[in-house]
Amino acid sequence: MTLQFGVELELLLGGRKKSFASWKSLADDVSKRLSKAGIRNHVSYGGGKSKTAETYHEWSIVQEVTIPTQSAGDNMLYGIELVSPVYPAAWSWAADIAAIYGVVQSSYVVVPSVHCSTHVHISTASGPLSGMGAVLLGEAVLYYEQALDALMPPGRRDSTTYWCRSNRESHMFKVYEEVEGALVLAQDNYPKNKMVSLSTCLGVVRYGYDTSAFAMPEAVNLLPADCPYGRAHGKKRSFVHGKVFKWNFSGLPYEGSPASNLGTVEFRQPPGSVVADEACAWVTLALSFVAGVLAGDGGMAGVSVQRGGASLEELWQVLQTGSLELGWEGGLGAVDDLFRGSSSGSDN
């Protein structure tokens, strides 16, 4: 199975030698400097990303409205998002990311911000994941959640960050409950703030596949109609909205999904990347995790979940398997630093 990916790098930037009067003037300057460095790109002035395949042939520069514009003395700082083209996982994509950051760091002030994220979109070159592939990955993001959390800075570990909530908070998991080992419909008064057990979540994922009752995006990315977003948008029934979860499966097919879906799964949990090594580490983590999970064939069947999920050692084994599947001769590279930071109690 051949994987491909795209990465979105959210940055808070300002001029190093002068302040830019507007986001547009900064974006134009970034575009010019990237072009000079041999990085093909364009500026998207509409403020949004067009979800067509043609968009992803070169880097695009997009205004990131979730990053507030702010001042730092006489310098203005703007939220900017660099959206990559589609890269084969086995290609030397790290060189392009290093070149991007070489330009950014030499020409601009890069300010760490809790509002910035690094998003990695992964798909198979042959099209959307198979139904079983989606099940394997859906189960894995639940089972390995606590191990992946340990690699993150504190602000990205729990569900207090709105844009990367635990997939165990999906509304579908509150629709069912386990009674004597069997899944049944839960009572209407199921506590909204109570986290559903991992074993129940895994059971629901497999039940949806075995019975064709619902697709994976509905299992792990469902919000209730009465949530704030649902009320604001006039929703009358529960709906898929993957952009508030750590893993976004809404790019995969489900009932009522847009025809323009590109068949991607998005890893949304990583924080903003201030340097190239950080960006490469998050991309490497996402790709090797997905590849390692898809290389298996049994999923979580028969796995004990009494301790709440996988250990770091189990996660490392999956990543090693994924690295071999991808044909990476250099191993996991910068991911080593994430594990060292986790074991030493670092905030990464």
pLDDT digits (tens, 9 = 90+) for 161-186: 778 899 999 999 988 866 555 666 66
Check residue 86 and report its DSSP letter. -
Residue 134: count other Cβ atoms within 10 Å of its Cβ: 25
CA distance 122 to 291: 10
Domain range for 107 is 3-127+266-343
Could you tell me if 195 and 270 lie in one domain?
no
Does residue 275 surpass a pLDDT of 60? yes
DSSP, collapsed to helix, strand or coil, labels residue 319 as: helix
Last residue of a domain, one of 218, 251, 284: 251
| Strands (DSSP E) found in the chain | 3-15, 41-44, 59-63, 70-72, 75-83, 87-88, 108-110, 118-124, 176-179, 182-185, 222-223, 239-240, 247-248, 265-267
pLDDT value for 53: 45
- Total domains in the fold of the chain: 2
DSSP, collapsed to helix, strand or coil, labels residue 109 as: strand
pTM metric for this prediction:
0.92
Could you tell me if 171 and 109 lie in one domain?
no
DSSP, collapsed to helix, strand or coil, labels residue 338 as: helix
Residue 98: inside a domain: yes
Q: The tokens of 216 are what?
A: 């994976």
Last residue of a domain, one of 251, 280, 310: 251
pLDDT value for 259: 72
Q: Which of 244, 246, 245, 242 is nearest to 270 (CA)?
A: 246
Does residue 98 surpass a pLDDT of 90? yes
Average pLDDT over residues 77-95: 94
CA distance 1 to 137: 14
Residue 258: inside a domain: no
